[in-house]
C-alpha cells in the first residue's frame, strides 16, 4: 500500500487530519480549551501528517484561526480549506454558492490563514439556489487571479463532478464515505479513473449495530486494533486515491488514528469488510 499521494508538486501522506472538531460544541464558537486545540494541531504535524483540512464554516472562522496560531507558516504542510456554507448557529449550515459570497469567503480565509494563495480550495456544498456552473466558474476566476492553487469540490454526485471537471481542473473530491456508507462509490470510481484525490469524511459512518458491529469488532480483535482504526485501514486499502481526514480534539484519539497506517488487512479481512452494508 502506497502511503503517499501526489497533489500537484506536493507529496502528501495519505492519512490527513480534519480540523472541524477543534471548535466548540455543534462546530460552533471557540473550543472549551483553546490551548488543547493548539496542542492537538501541533501534535498532528509531529506525527507526520502534512495534509490538514478545514473550512471557513468551522466555528465559523475558529478552525482557520487556530490553524494559523498553531502552525503558521505551514512549512511542508498543505492546508486545504472550503467555502460555500454559512452558519447561523450550532448545527445550522446554509449553502451560499453565489459568486459574491465565494469571493468574500476566499478573501477572508486568505486573511485568517495568513497566506496569499490557498493550496487547495474546495467548494463546500452545491447551492440549490445557484446554478452549479455559476459557482464553479466563480472559483475558476479566483484561481486565475492567483488566489487558489488547486480546486476541489465537496458533497457532489457524479453529474456535478463531471460538470465541474468540464469547467476546471478538479484535483479533489470530499464526500461522506466509509466502510458502512458507500453511497458515493460511483464518485470514488470516477476519481480513481481520473487520478483525483478522494477525501472521505466520517470514516466509520452508518449503522455499527448487529452484524456490522460483530464483523468490525472481530477484525479489530484480530489485529489488536479499534473499530475506528479498522475503518481507516479499510479506506486506505480500498483505493489508492483515498486520503482520509479523521478529526479529533483529543491527542490520545489522534495517536490511535495514526496507527491505522500500520494495519495490513489480509484478503479475508477485506472480503468480510467489503460485504458490510449501511443496514447492518
pTM above 0.95, yes or no: yes
Residue 120 bridge partners (DSSP): 80, 150
Mapping DSSP to helix (H, G, I), strand (E, B) and coil, where does residue 68 land?
helix
Q: pLDDT digits over 62-91, tens only?
A: 999 999 999 999 999 999 999 999 999 999
pLDDT of residue 189: 98
Phi, psi of 53 (to 5 degrees): -110, 135
Residue showing cell 473499530: 227
Answer yes or no: 74 catalytic: no
pLDDT computed for residue 210 by the predictor = 82
Q: Which of 58, 121, 132, 177 is catalytic?
A: 58
DSSP assignment of 141-157, as one string?
HHHHTTSEEEEEEES--
Give the three-class secondary structure for 251: helix
> What is the C-alpha to C-alpha distance for residues 51 and 77, in angstroms, rounded to an integer?
6
pLDDT at 203: 77
pLDDT bracket for residue 277 (50, 70, 90): confident
Cα first-last separation, the chain: 28
List pLDDT tens digits, range 151-193: 999 999 999 999 999 999 999 999 999 999 999 999 999 999 9
Nearest-angstrom CA–CA distance, 19 and 191: 23
**Is the per-residue pLDDT at 280 higher than 60?**
no
What single DSSP character describes residue 168? S
CA angle 175, 181, 183 (to 5 degrees): 65
Q: What domains can you pick out in the chain, each with its CATH number? A: 4-205+240-249 (3.20.20.100)
* Mean pLDDT computed over 229-236: 97
Residues 192-212, mean pLDDT to the nearest whole number = 86
Amino acid at each position: 500500500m502506497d502511503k503517499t499521494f501526489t497533489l500537484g508538486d506536493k507529496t502528501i501522506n495519505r492519512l490527513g487530519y480534519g480540523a472541524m472538531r477543534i471548535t466548540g460544541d455543534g462546530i460552533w464558537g471557540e473550543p472549551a480549551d483553546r490551548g488543547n486545540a493548539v496542542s492537538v494541531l501541533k501534535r498532528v504535524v509531529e506525527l507526520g501528517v502534512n495534509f490538514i483540512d478545514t473550512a471557513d464554516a468551522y466555528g465559523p472562522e475558529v478552525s482557520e484561526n487556530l490553524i494559523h496560531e498553531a502552525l503558521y507558516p505551514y512549512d511542508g504542510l498543505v492546508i486545504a480549506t472550503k467555502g460555500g456554507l454559512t452558519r447561523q448557529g450550532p448545527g445550522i449550515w446554509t449553502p451560499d454558492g453565489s459568486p459574491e459570497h465565494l469571493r468574500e469567503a476566499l478573501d477572508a480565509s486568505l486573511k485568517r490563514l495568513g497566506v496569499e494563495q490557498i493550496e487547495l480550495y474546495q467548494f463546500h456544498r452545491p447551492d440549490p439556489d445557484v446554478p452549479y456552473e455559476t459557482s464553479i466558474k466563480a472559483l475558476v476566476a479566483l484561481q486565475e487571479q492567483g488566489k487558489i492553487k488547486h480546486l476541489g469540490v465537496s458533497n457532489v454526485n457524479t453529474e456535478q463532478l463531471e460538470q465541474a471537471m468540464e469547467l476546471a481542473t478538479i484535483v479533489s473530491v470530499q464526500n461522506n464515505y466509509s466502510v458502512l456508507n458507500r453511497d458515493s462509490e460511483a464518485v470514488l470510481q470516477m476519481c480513481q479513473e481520473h487520478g483525483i484525490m478522494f477525501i472521505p469524511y466520517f470514516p466509520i459512518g452508518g449503522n455499527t449495530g448487529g452484524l456490522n458491529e460483530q464483523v468490525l469488532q472481530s477484525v479489530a480483535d484480530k489485529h489488536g486494533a479499534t473499530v475506528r482504526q479498522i475503518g481507516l485501514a479499510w479506506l486506505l486499502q480500498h483505493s489508492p486515491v483515498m486520503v482520509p481526514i479523521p478529526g479529533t480534539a483529543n491527542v490520545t484519539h489522534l495517536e490511535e488514528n495514526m496507527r491505522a497506517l500500520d494495519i495490513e488487512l489480509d484478503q479475508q479481512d477485506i472480503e468480510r469488510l467489503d460485504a458490510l452494508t449501511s443496514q447492518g
